[in-house]
Amino acid sequence: MKVALGQFAVARDWQTNAETCLALMARAHEASVDLLVLPEGILARDIADPDLVLKAAQPLDGPFVTQLLAASKGQALTVMMSVHTPASEGRVWNVLIAIRDGKILAEYRKLHLYDAFSMQESKNVTPGNEIPPLVDVAGFKVGLMTCYDIRFPELARRLVLDGAEVLVLPAAWVKGPLKEAHWEVLVTARALENTTYVVAVGECGERNIGNSMVVDPLGVAIARAAEAPALVFAELDKTRLRHARQVLPVLENRCFGTPQLRSDK
């Protein structure tokens, strides 16, 4: 499977971001990519206005997603990204969507909200309460995660036990002391401990680190971006996946059962 990591800095207005996404989709299609992954929260961003997620949120049948769906018609390219959609009581969902050929294939509402390092995502966002689905892309089973989810090994392990061979992670990883090190360690650990590919795509720009990367099932970074906008490509190989799971059979050797959501989720 050929994947592309579409790293960019999210603008304040959705029209600009839609144009950026459409351009990345066109380039990915031209390059015969199977899966394009974009960052988290790509409708709108303004570090001076954290409540913009409320004002900019759109339903999935709104103009932003509708434009992307129209552009995807007739194509085999699968695109994954996170957007904010209206929820009840003046709040929003952080929803990861997968689209292909004019349709939404899957939706995942972010489980773990980023209430850490002096930030509080839960101020505006309602958490999800369901395990993400798997999406079939070019013969691979792909599991869905969003940003802060990477710090919780139970979700990655659950998705892999459900059959995931690739974990996709749109993110907006905030800059700060040691944060780039955290990102690299966590993305690598989730790949290695589960013998799976991880495709992690971060927003770049004034607030976030970028540093998108693909890590293979034995913990090797096979593609990565720096701090600037980029479109990076990587090839995911079933032979490499089978080899990793043969020489490092952690999934067979584990002593713990399948992780489940807490009853209060």
**166-to-45, 140, 147, 192, 215 alpha-carbon distances in Å:** 28, 7, 15, 12, 10
CA–CA distance, 26 with 205 (Å, rounded to integer): 22
Q: Which of 244, 224, 156 is nearest to 184 (CA)?
A: 224
CA–CA distance, 166 with 202 (Å, rounded to integer): 17
Q: Which among 2, 19, 21, 40 is annotated as catalytic? A: 40
CA–CA distance, 166 with 153 (Å, rounded to integer): 15
Q: Which among 19, 55, 130, 147 is annotated as catalytic? A: 147
CA–CA distance, 180 with 184 (Å, rounded to integer): 6
Three-state DSSP at 50 gives: coil
Residue 40 falls in the annotated catalytic set: yes
Residue 141 falls in the annotated catalytic set: no
CB 99, CB 79: distance < 8 Å: yes
Q: Which among 30, 73, 103, 110 is annotated as catalytic? A: 110
Residue 235 falls in the annotated catalytic set: no
Catalytic site positions? 40, 110, 147
